Structure 1
Amino acid sequence: MKSKRLVFRDVEWWIITLVFLIIVLTNIVIAMSAYSYPMEKFFGIVVQPIVLYIGFYVMHLVIIPKYLKDKNVLQLILFSLLAAVVTGGLTGACAGVNDVDPERFFRFYFSTILLYAVYLVIANLLRKMFLPPIFKDYQLYNGIRLFMIFLFVSIFLFVSRLFVNEVILVILLMVIPCIAFFVFYNYFLLYRNKLKGNIKAYRWFLWGLMTILFLVFVIISAENNVPEIMLLGLGMIALLIFVIFPISNIVFGKYKDYIGKIDTLSVQVNQSSANLSFLRSQINPHFLFNALNTLYGAALMENAEKTSDGIQKLGDMMRFMLHENQMDKIPLTREIDYLRNYLDLQMLRFKNEENLEVEIKLSDDICEGSISPMLLIPYVENAFKHGISTKSKSWIKINLRCLQGSVHLDVVNSIHAKKQTEDPRDESGIGLENVKSRLAHFYPLKHNLTIVANDIEHFVHLSVQL
């Protein structure tokens, strides 16, 4: 509700479909239960709502979407008039079969058209008034639109008394809204509290509701001196406890499992994409040739000790990416070892840069626990990738520390304008969105990621509870 705008054209379609289905089925049952009900009147009360429903379908899902696509006002007017005339003629014929007064029919039909037009106008105004960026999320807009649908459907039912009787009004305006209310009550106050282990709150909301319902029916029964009303209340309470709440809980559980499976599949796809992207960008020819040239230059200037050390670090990095990077969790020490190797190689590469100031603080404490691989490294990689300029003063500051059961990383780097010749596709191997997705999946409510940037500096803080 907050992060996504509901597709109201589909919502409206399904709600109107349900309403007309209940109207038609109820009329069929009432007509068949009545003794010697005339066949022509039976035909009228069943066909009339069906024709009106088809007219709504043509207007709402064919003519208006076509106008929104083509922006042809003349075509919209002509097709709307044609649909109104055909629908009005057919529903008028059905009303004539039922001996409905023409004046009453025209009042009904034009009231329906006016009601639909007013609904479209108000819906358009709500889109302009309550959608982001005016409001920060979609919750208020979605709630108002859903209430507006219920309000206009209620008005339509009272206007359409030609084929809508009291039974339909009770079902659509009392029974279904009550069931919807109890389902929402169950989800927000009972199911979620029970899922979180808040059993005390769950019991308060459950038995508080049952007590209120029982007292309401007792008072109504006493005022009207009808004991059967109290029995109706007890039956309603039993229906909630043994039917509505259990069935809705099953639906909530299935929906949660479904969303969980989608989330897991999404993370797996992102992880696979991240692995391929990382191997493609991190171990790319540009980085390898720079590292090997650095090692070659070091070998010419000194004995092979430093060179062999660099080659060993590069080999450790490659083994890490080919093997441990495929795991869901690895020891935190291995992640930090990779980070050290990466930093050592980068310092070999940039040690002679006069404009570069690098400050590195890696925790010397024993960092215990496991972590999902490649969560810390992308931010350090980005700092070296975007924070260094050969012509301007540059700086990179890295601070990693381990506390009891958590790891904290701060990365600060200078920002420089991108070169015009720089390939826009040459971005970070993993990307912040992918890292955020993996953090949300593996460490929900157990991580804190803050990214702040201005014109000259980029700051990242990441803390993860292991």
Structure 2
Amino acid sequence: MMKSKSLDFKSIEWWVVTFLFLIILLVNILNIGSTRFDLYDHELINYFAKIFIPLILFAVFYVVHMRLIPAYQRSGKLWVFLAWCVPIALSSYIGITLFSVGGEITETAFTPYYFKSLAIYGGYLVWVVLLKQIFLPPKMENFQLYNSIRLGSIFFFLLLFVVQISVIFPRGLSQVFAIGIPAIAAVILYNYLLIYRFRRKGKSKLANAFNIFLIAALPGGFILGATAEGQPILLLIGVGLALFIQLILIPISNFAFDKYFKMRGQIKELNHQVQVGSANLSFLKSQINPHFLFNALNTLYGSALIENAEKTSDAIQKLGDMMRFMLHENTLDKIPLKRELEYLQNYLDLQMLRFKNEENLDVQVHINEETCIGHIAPMMLIPFVENAFKHGISTKNKSWIKINLRCLKGSVHLDVVNSIHPPKSNPDPSDESGVGLDNVKQRLSVLYPDRHKLNIVANDSEYFVHFSLQLDQND
């Protein structure tokens, strides 16, 4: 994932910043114990200022980062973007300044931490643009370096921001963020690499071993610290961290991983369906070869003039069966294999009727249908035979087509060999109709990704195709 594409950094930035402001607000709200509720006491104003200032900053981030910037990227209208940003910046500055001065966070109307926060945010946006210019493919082989640097940049700029606004939350919280965020990220990474992934692979014992090591390592480290420093509180902190990791952090991260892989599976399934639809649409557009049908009708007409209709009526019936097959059964996902073989046999019979007077042509057909039981996607076999007749026959040179089809239990195997001739100086565009081999390969990769083999070998005089397909066992 890190290599194949860019991460969804818009969502990552949103959730990280939301989590940060949520912690700041909770800490400031719970800090009420030392506040005196006196209507004219600056302590009370300071208490509410430290609640509303983060709310204003978070609201500005949401409007600008999640709404205005995406709208600007879609429209490209800079003046609309600036027309919104200027009043937002002015009104947020006034609101923050009023709370900051009223709560005696700053002594003057100038609030340095507000402007420093804007500078940090602007610096981050510029840095992201530079990262995209330098580290995105094709300048880099993949997205891994870009994704890694940008993830680190989010943490670095967020830490700068926390340090600058440390005046609006209790002392020491910035140090907690500086240590806690990397520690949480390390535990989540440890969980994914050594616990979650092994559990998904069915290696529960190995996953449990790594989980036990994580549980034991934290209290163990703090026990050593408590022994060395003579402070039992360190042991309680270790146990509390172990419980926090096991009861909160790991379950939440596992839930996020599950949602991610479920969404990824849904996206993969949708892509598969789109590919199937695309392949089938292309297939339906090209499946009928009008040139062959017209030649067949002309052949039938000629036969009707020189004989008394017995062979002609049989040929007409075969052509009718083929047309019904193309109009009705071709739209199905799967059909009985015997119906595909009937269509193939009708096609061969009509082609042999067409070329029966060609002295230079040798056609050998061996089809063993006795064990051909199962279902198959329609028009999987005929393109290889059609290709042989389309390109393997010359009215001037010796030509040959050899077809051998056999069925084994749960599989069908087709070998087609045809002669090769120089291309026509004025090729007939209608010869390109029909189901092309590229289209067949696309359908095979979508419908039978691990259940087919297709080998095509050509030299100066001969074209060889070996095709085998594994049928579904429940068909």
**What TM-score results when the alignment is normalised by the length of structure 2?**
0.68
- Counterpart of 1:132 (choices 137, 150, 156) is 137
Select the residue among 94, 100, 104 that pairs with 1:95. 100
- Indicate if the aligned counterparts of 1:324 and 1:373 stay in contact, CA closer than 8 A: no
Q: Which has the larger radius of gyration?
A: 2
Bigger CA drift: 141-150 or 322-331?
322-331
User: What amino acid does structure 1 have at the position aligned with 2:113?
Assistant: F
Write the letter of the residue equivalent to 1:207. A
The DSSP-based 3-state class of the residue aligned with 2:118 is helix
**Distance change (3 Å), C-alpha of 1:229 and 1:381:** farther
**Distance in 1 (alpha carbons) for counterparts of 2:28 and 2:416:** 70
Shift of 1:385: 11
Q: Is structure 2 residue 155 aligned with structure 1 residue 153?
A: no
- Give the match for residue 208 of structure 1: 210
What does 1:24-423 align with in structure 2 at a 5 Å threshold?
24-30=25-31, 32-36=32-36, 38-61=43-66, 63-65=68-70, 67-69=72-74, 71=76, 80=85, 83-101=88-106, 106-165=111-170, 169=174, 178=183, 181-197=186-202, 199=203, 202-225=204-227, 226=231, 229-230=234-235, 233=238, 236-237=241-242, 245=250, 278=283, 281-283=286-288, 288-300=293-305, 304=309, 307-308=312-313, 310-318=315-323, 320-321=325-326, 325=330, 328-330=333-335, 332=337, 334-342=339-347, 345=350, 370=374, 372-374=376-378, 376-377=380-381, 380=384, 383=387
What CA deviation, in whole Å up to 9, does each residue of 1:305-324 have, x standing for no partner? 65455445444445555665
Q: Distance in 2 between matches of 1:131 and 1:415?
A: 47
* Cα distance in 1 for residues equivalent to 2:269 and 2:444: 10
Distance 1:150 1:344 in 2: 72
Aligned residue type for 1:40: I
Distance in structure 1 (CA, Å) of the matches to 2:412 and 2:159? 57
What letter corresponds to residue 374 of structure 1 in structure 2? P
Cα displacement (A) at 1:153? 1.6
Q: Return the offset for 1:203.
A: 2.3
Code of the aligned partner of 2:150:
R
Contact 1:449–1:460 under 8 Å retained in 2: yes
Counterparts of 1:415 and 1:111, CA distance in 2: 75
Shift, 1:372, TM fit = 4.3
Is the 8 Å Cα contact of residues 210 and 237 (structure 1) preserved in structure 2?
A: no
Residue 167 of structure 2: SS of its match in structure 1? coil
Give, in angstroms, the shift of residue 161 of structure 1.
0.5
Greater displacement, 279-288 / 46-55: 279-288
- What secondary structure is seen at the aligned counterpart in 2 of 1:162? helix
Aligned-partner Cα distance in 2 for 1:451–1:173: 61
Give the equivalent residue in structure 1 for 2:40.
Answer: none
Question: Percent of aligned positions with the same letter in both sequences?
Answer: 40
Give the deviation of 1:279 after TM superposition.
5.3
Q: How far apart in 2 are the matches of 1:40 and 1:320? A: 82
- Does structure 2 retain, via aligned residues, the 8 Å contact 1:360–1:397? yes
Match of 1:13 in 2: 14
- In structure 1, the residue corresponding to 2:166 is in which secondary structure? coil
Cα distance change, pair 62–401 in 1 and its aligned pair in 2 (3 A): same
Q: Which amino acid is the alignment partner of residue 34 of structure 1?
A: S
| RMSD of Structure 2 on Structure 1 (CA) | 5.4
Q: Number of matched residues?
A: 454
* Native 8 Å contact 2:412 2:468 kept in 1: yes
Query: Any conservation in 2 of the 1:387–1:396 contact (CA below 8 Å)?
Result: no
Deviates more, 1:21-30 or 1:245-254: 245-254
Residue 445 of structure 1 and its aligned partner are, at CA, apart by 4.7
SS of equivalent to 1:146: helix
Moved more, 106-115 or 300-309: 300-309
SS of corresponding position for 1:132? coil
Report the CA distance shift for 1:233/1:261 in structure 2 as closer, same or farther (over 3 A).
same
Which blocks of at least 5 consecutive residues in structure 1 are unaligned? none
Q: Distance in 2 between matches of 1:414 and 1:94?
A: 88
CA 284–460 in structure 1, closer or farther in 2 if over 3 Å, else same = closer
> Cα 1:334–1:13, aligned 2, differ >3 Å: closer, same or farther?
same
Shift of 1:215: 3.2
Q: Which amino acid counterpart does residue 108 of structure 1 have in structure 2?
A: Y
Distance apart, 1:207 and its partner CA: 0.8
Task: Determine the C-alpha separation between the residues in 2 that align with 1:395 and 1:113.
Answer: 78
Q: Report the TM-score when normalising by structure 1.
A: 0.70
| Equivalent-residue separation in structure 2 for 1:120 and 1:351 (angstroms) | 75
